[in-house]
Structure formats: structure tokens, C-alpha cells
Amino acid sequence: MKTSVVWKDAMEFAGTAGGYVVPMDAKAPMGKDAGATPKELVALGLGGCTAMDVIALLKKHKQPPESFRVDVDIQPSSGGHPAVFAKASLTFNVEGAVDADKLNEAVALSQTRYCGVSAMLAKSFPIEYRVLLNGREVGSGTANFESPTDERA
């Protein structure tokens, strides 16, 4: 994997990966808030990686949801520099006629075996998750990767 980051102006940058350009910027007053911050992109990567795993596993088990969203809530470290992530909470919000056991299995597999972003980040801070199906909590857990993971993005 190769990426590049090019300075545009002030604190605005353009990141390029796989032919896609992603705008990045700092919040005001340092920047113009013209793009996501690098830390926000890390949080998006965490949510995107596990979301792709769960959707792929649900499709495999013929359990397509009507809607699916992963909310990522990052708790920053308190005081000191650099400010880092202290904890992440993931909430999987699923609507539709999805089997709760299959959904919990898909999320657990993502957070213990498949999600490479979770595996990397879980070495630095705890990642907890909740699973909501049609507005009702049906599961929860913690990312726990004990063995080397495969090279999934």
C-alpha cells in the first residue's frame, strides 16, 4: 500500500490513496476546516473496516439488513501531548429482519479475527462495541485479537 499527502495551503492537504483524493485540514483557527482531520480519518478507517467485515458476513449468511450504520465514539487522552486515543466505542445500528445470533457472530468475528484496523488500534487502546438490532441491544463485547491477523483492509 502506498499513499501520498500533498500540501495545498495553510493547513490543508490532499491525501491520495488508490487513485482517490481525500481532503484533510485542521480545525480553525489553525486551519479552515476544509476536510477531515487525520485523527478523524483514523476513526473513519476503524468504522469502515469493521462495517465492511460485518456486511460481507451478513451477506454470506443471507442476512441483508435494511439499514446499517457504525457509530465510532473516540475518547481522547486527557492532558499532555501528543493527544492520543484513550478508548473507542463502536455502536453497530442494524435495522431489518436480521437474525440476532448471526449479527452478533459477524460483529464478534470482525472484532476478534478479521478487522485489521481494529487489530492494530486495539494494541494501543481498548475498543468496546455494542450491537443494536431494530433499536434493541442484542450484544456487546471488546475487540480482542490474540493471534496474527490476515491482511484484510
Question: Mean pLDDT, the chain, as a whole number?
Answer: 95
d(CA 148, CA 22) in angstroms, rounded, equals 30
CB 54 within 8 A of CB 107: yes
Give yes or no for residue 117 having a pLDDT over 70: yes
When pLDDT is cut at 50, 70 and 90, the band that residue 147 belongs to is low
pLDDT at res. 99: 98
> Structure pTM?
0.92
Record: fold of 38-142: GMP Synthetase; Chain A, domain 3 (3.30.300)
When pLDDT is cut at 50, 70 and 90, the band that residue 80 belongs to is confident
pLDDT at res. 149: 47
Q: Give 12-42 pLDDT, tens digit per residue.
A: 999 999 999 999 999 999 999 999 999 999 9
pLDDT at res. 79: 84
d(CA 32, CA 66) in angstroms, rounded, equals 37
